[in-house]
Amino acid sequence: MPEVDAPILKAPLPRGSRGASVTMRPFVTGEMGAPRGYLHREDRTLNKVRSLRDGAVKKIETWVPCPIFLLEHPTAGRVLIDTGLPAAIAHDPKAALGRFAAQLFAVRAEESQPLPARLRELSIERGEIDVVVMTHLHFDHAGGLADLFDATVIVSKDEWRSAHKPKGLARGYLKRQFDQAHDYRLVDYEATSINSFASFGRSFDLFGDGSIVLVSTPGHTSGHQSVVVRLKDREALLCGDAVYTRRALDRGDEPMIMADEHNYRRSVREMRAYAQMTPSALVVPGHDPELIESLDSEY
Show Cβ contacts of residue 228 under 8 Å, excluding neighbours closer than 6 positions. Answer: 197, 198, 200, 203, 212, 213, 215, 235, 236, 237, 238, 274
Model confidence, pTM: 0.94
Show the CA angle centred on residue 141, arms to residues 244 and 75, nearest 5°. Answer: 105
Q: How far apart are CA 121 and CA 96, in angstroms?
A: 22
pLDDT at 59: 78
pLDDT at 3: 53
Q: 3-class SS at 49? A: helix
pLDDT at 190: 97
Where do the structural domains in the chain lie, given as residue ranges? Answer: 23-294
- Greatest alpha-carbon span in the chain: 52
Tell me the DSSP string of 134-185. -S--BHHHHTTGGG--S-EEEEEHHHHHHHTSSS-GGGTB-HHHH-SS-EEE
pLDDT tens, the chain, 299 aa long: 445 689 999 999 999 999 999 999 999 999 999 998 999 997 655 555 555 555 444 579 899 999 999 999 999 999 999 999 999 999 999 989 998 888 889 999 999 999 999 999 999 999 999 999 999 999 999 999 999 988 999 999 999 999 999 999 999 999 999 988 899 999 999 999 999 999 999 999 999 999 999 999 999 999 999 999 999 999 999 999 999 999 999 999 999 999 999 999 999 999 999 999 999 999 999 999 999 999 999 99
pLDDT at 50: 55
pLDDT at 42: 78
Q: How far apart are CA 156 and CA 158, in angstroms?
A: 5
pLDDT at 56: 47
Task: Select the CATH number that applies to the domain covering 23-294 from these four: 3.30.365.10, 3.40.50.720, 3.30.70.1400, 3.60.15.10.
Answer: 3.60.15.10
Ramachandran angles phi, psi of 16, nearest 5°: -70, 160
Q: How far apart are CA 130 and CA 127, in angstroms?
A: 8
Q: What is the 3-state secondary structure (H, E, C) of 11-33?
A: CCCCCCCCCCCCEEEEEEEEEEE
Task: Report which secondary-structure segment, H or E, holds 239.
Answer: strand 235-240
Show Cβ contacts of residue 267 under 8 Å, excluding neighbours closer than 6 positions. Answer: 216, 217, 218, 219, 220, 224, 226, 242, 243
Q: Measuring CA to CA, which residue among 217, 255, 222, 219 is closest to residue 237?
A: 217
DSSP strand pairing (225-230 vs 235-240): antiparallel
Tell me the DSSP string of 110-140. -TTSSHHHHHHHTT--GGG--EEE-S--BHH
pLDDT at 1: 43
* Type of residue at 222: S
Q: Measuring CA to CA, which residue among 169, 150, 176, 161 is closest to residue 224?
A: 161
C-alpha R_g of the chain: 18
pLDDT at 104: 87
